[in-house]
Amino acid sequence: MDKIAIPVRTEPLAGTIRPPGSKSITNRALICAALADGRTHLQGVLDSDDTRVMIAALGDLGLSIDHNVQQAAVDVTGCGGVLPVDAAELFVANSGTTMRFLTALLALAKGRFRIDGVERMRQRPIGDLVDALNSIGAQIECESPNQCPPVVLNARGLSGGEVSIRGDVSSQFLSGLLMAAPLARGDTTIRIDGELVSQPYVEMTLRVMRSFGVAADAEGLQSFHVPGNQAYQACHYTIEPDASAASYFWAAAAIVGGRVTVEGLSRDSLQGDVAFCDCLEQMGCQVAYGQDSVTVVGGPLRGIDVDMNAISDTVQTLAAVALFADGPTRVRGVAHNRYKETDRIGDLATELRKVGAAVEEHKDGLTIVPQPLQAAEINTYHDHRMAMSLALIGLRVPGIVILNPACTEKTYPEYFADLFRLCGNVQPPPTCG
């Protein structure tokens, strides 16, 4: 499909949905399972472009992996920290987690490895992680300008030691470093320079690591001490539904009205993006937390001023909701969003203006002023979140068409089918071109 037209929903929503497994947890669990001693069973695994490239790369590194897509399960026979190969060429498409986590994992190995991706990946900086790993014994070089991939490793293991890493570009750098550090020959102390973005994702990493039997001591998420010579242990691990994906369905309730319940998540979820519901509550929705569900009930919406640093993957979702609010919405604290799959500030502003909104860009975010909305074709910039979030506008505004809807394969291949099913459209999604 070149395009997909979004049908307007004229009645309030009343539905329940369970999104697929979390991409962020899936790829962290795959790394931990690969390094573990023994056979790990992962349940609730997301099947998407990002997780497929991670699974394929681990297979190219000689690991035994059995992926049952129908059962959302993966069995991984870990290497006990010693990879069975000493050379590999890996391709990770545009998966930032795969690029960054594999770079850290391969620094533990011995041999020569190269990791590459699509053209956009060659524009996404990785130098902060490379410099940090090199300071504790790695030998890694970036082949593209501005310290971007491809990366080449002449791996010899990690010695451990003291290291500093910037926190304001991507928390995935720190997460990759944290997952590798337990297998260094000595203890590692990691200090964060400046503000740490997306802190809940670092907390997620630490919790996944603990489930696999390794530990790191965190002091206010600004300093970490990781004992060396630890061993990851195989286990049975269940992956919860993706909270970032859930944000689209909660937002649908806010935009259309009615009630939407997402199953499999709670206030105590491993994923910080559940806090997106706090934003909706501030805007006028009602939110009810169950033991294994979160329900949003739409209401009259008002604009808010919100720091979304901790939940930056949901900025585009909130932007779609903000178009239907009374008054402007100011999003702050997400300067790092410019370095994602696309510029999620500048490109988002461009598409919001197409549908009629007044948008002011800031260094750390944007201000959205609702105006009368109009039909438009939405460019997605090969960014799955641009497609999924801005499709929600079409639930209220006739004539919204999403270009390249297949980009949602990155994290949620069945997104449009699930969205239309929730909205009561039993026919296949309308397509164009």
Tell me, yes or no, if 268 is annotated catalytic: no
Tokens at residue 28, please?
Answer: 């962290």
Instruction: Provide the residue type at 225 as one letter.
Output: H
DSSP class of 37: B
CA max distance for the chain? 62
DSSP class of 302: B
Give the sign of the dihedral formed by CA 246, CA 252, CA 255, CA 258: negative
**Residues with Cβ within 8 Å of residue 195, at least 6 apart in sequence:** 167, 168, 309
**Cα 365 from Cα 344, distance rounded (Å):** 9
Tokens at residue 42, please?
Answer: 């992962």
Q: How far is CA 333 from CA 133, 338, 362, 364, in A?
A: 27, 12, 10, 5
Among the options 47, 313, 347, 418, which is catalytic? Answer: 313
Residue in the block written with tokens 């979390």: 22
Q: Give the residue among 16, 8, 6, 47 at the shortest CA–CA distance from 30.
A: 47
Q: Give the residue among 329, 321, 314 at the shortest CA–CA distance from 300.
A: 321
**Cα 284 from Cα 359, distance rounded (Å):** 22
Q: Give the residue among 354, 176, 345, 323 at the shortest CA–CA distance from 251.
A: 323
Active site residues: 313
